[in-house]
Structure 1
Amino acid sequence: MPPEPQLLQARHIDAGYGTMQVLWGVDLDVRPGETVLLLGANGAGKTTFLKSLVGLVPVRQGRIDLAGTEVTHMRSSDRMRLGVTYMSELGVFPDLSIEENIRVGAQALGHPDPGARVDELYGLFPVLREKRRAAASSLSGGQRKMLGIAKALAAEPKLLVMDEPSAGLSPLFVKEVIRILGDLSQHGISLLIAEQNISFLEIATRVFVLEGGRIRFSGTVAEMSDNDALRRAYFGLK
């Protein structure tokens, strides 16, 4: 059988800031339609790795391929045109309205009908329709996170890369975000989620654990669950 195609393939990635190296030889891949969870504590290097994937942090060594095209030194805007969208912890423009935020996401890639795309996303997030003229800064933390997801989806990406979607949210809203992302994965969108909240394991296809800038584990959720030493060392589970 031919090997399973990769939507994203990162190999031997070294990256950092100035004289400080943060990542050492990181390997990670995402297949079409799957949800990959990158787990790690604060300071593990998750954000640096995500930014290297989307062109916001230069890669010192290694190679990144997206949909069969090498993008290691490609501009962020060109990577977006290949179908990758990045959602940071903030994820929105606070001073713009809800609708303006979503339109910015759609227009970033020249969507042929931004208005229609906005309406589609209001169907997924009806609470945003009710407040569409309000500034993003007026939303609750959970609602702002939903807007960030909607804005990222506006460009209809093949791969949505997310940094700590649970950050600042109550446990109730974390469950809602997990539900929304689980629904998205059923519609063929590939997800790469960097998190320290292990609740996101319930929607993951595969898991990578990053610690000290190096991948310490990669495998399925079941394989991670069977690794007692990993569970105790990184997540305090018994």
Structure 2
Amino acid sequence: MPPEADALLQASRIDAGYGTMQVLWGVDLDVRPGETVLLLGANGAGKTTFLKSLVGLVAVRHGSIRLGHADITKMRSSARMRLGMTYMSELAVFPDLTIEENIRIGAQALGHPDPGSRLDELYGLFPALRDKRRDAASSLSGGQRKMLGIAKALAAEPKLLVMDEPSAGLSPLFVKEVIRILANLRGRGLALLVAEQNIGFLEVATRVFVLEGGRIRFSGTVAEMNDNEALHRAYFGLK
């Protein structure tokens, strides 16, 4: 795929895997500034491997990754973070540290000049965390930990937030809360790449890519996906 002039993130023809096992085959994906891109796929489709290749936790065997004007294909994870990319895994937080310590670590990861002011902003977005800020993250419910994980990832004010299965382990009520939070983040200049199997996240997406068997099977707008009846039947069992 040729580089998109307006792309913040451009992954082109990505092959990756573990040892002798190849997981990704020629994956193309781009994220533009300020948009929310949803990477949909079932368990085992290769979503986590792809995200880890973007952030430098899995080596790319073939292809290239650009963030802005920089080729980050072979950069260390820490260097990618300094360029404005943060990664929220399923675990997301340090359970033995307090809520405030987790958020401060997130702010320091990209060298935020004033972590204290950032704390106040994030407590405004996540008021439930303010009253518990001195408590260990391990004391939180699964849904509250997910809120903390999002706050920690946002603490350094990244350009791009990469999220792996934010709905994992959550009740339907908390999944709706995560979707609400992501909807509120739109329009703040932050780009999001969200890997999910829950189609409820289509509600907040600008564009969607469907990954199956380590290959992109569809890419387009949410409207285009909704119009594709064969895709719905094949991947989501929808009529």
Bin the TM-score by the shorter chain: over 0.9
Distance in 2 of aligned mates of 1:155 and 1:20: 35
Who is 2:182 aligned against? 181
- In the superposition, the TM-score normalised over structure 2's length comes to 0.98
Specify the SS of the correspondent of 2:86.
strand
Which residue identity does 2:145 align to in structure 1? Answer: R
In structure 2, the partner of 1:60 is 61
Counterpart in the other structure of 1:48: 49
Does the alignment pair 1:104 with 2:134? no
Q: How many residues align?
A: 236
| Alignment-derived partner of residue 24 in structure 2 | 23
Q: Could you tell me how far apart the structure 2 residues matched to 1:79 and 1:4 are? A: 20
- In 1, Cα distance between equivalents of 2:237 and 2:142: 27
Equivalent AA in structure 1 for residue 10 of structure 2? Q
1:37 maps to which residue?
Answer: 38
Is 1:236 matched up with 2:230?
no
- Match of 1:177, SS? helix
**C-alpha contact (below 8 Å) 2:92/2:149 kept by paired residues:** yes
SS state at 1:60 partner: strand
C-alpha distance in structure 2 between counterparts of 1:110 and 1:61, whole Å: 31
* Distance of 2:180 and 2:109 partners within structure 1: 27
Q: Which amino acid aligns with 2:118?
A: R
Rounded Cα–Cα distance in structure 1 between residues aligned with 2:229 and 2:114: 50
Aligned to 1:139: 140
Distance in structure 1 (CA, Å) of the matches to 2:232 and 2:113: 47
SS at 1:148 equivalent = helix
The alignment's TM-score, normalised by the length of structure 1, stands at 0.98
Superposed CA deviations along residues 139-163 of structure 1, whole A, max 9, x for unmatched, are 0111100000000000100000000
Alignment-mate amino acid for residue 140 of structure 2: L
| Percent of aligned pairs sharing the same letter | 83
In 1, the alpha carbon distance for the partners of 2:186 and 2:151 equals: 14
> Counterpart amino acid of 2:44?
G
Shift of 1:119: 1.2
| Structure 2 residue runs without a partner (length 5+) | none
Counterparts of 2:38 and 2:112, CA distance in 1:
28
Task: Name segments (4+ residues, structure 1) moved above 2 Å.
Answer: none
CA-CA distance at 1:34 after TM superposition:
0.4
- Residue 233 of structure 1 aligns to a residue whose secondary structure is helix
**Paired residues for 1:45-194 under 5 Å:** 45-194=46-195
Partner AA of 1:117 in structure 2: R
Deviation by residue 1:59-118 (Cα, 9 ceiling, x = unmatched): 000000001110000010100011000000010001100000000000111111111111
SS in 1 for 2:128: helix
- What is the alpha-carbon distance in structure 2 between the residues aligned to residue 143 and residue 32 of structure 1? 28
> Separation in 2 of the partners of 1:26 and 1:158?
22
Q: Which structure 1 residue ranges, 5 or more long, are not aligned?
A: none
Q: Secondary structure at the match of 2:124?
A: helix
Deviation (angstroms), 1:4: 5.0
Could you tell me how far apart the structure 2 residues matched to 1:155 and 1:25 are?
32
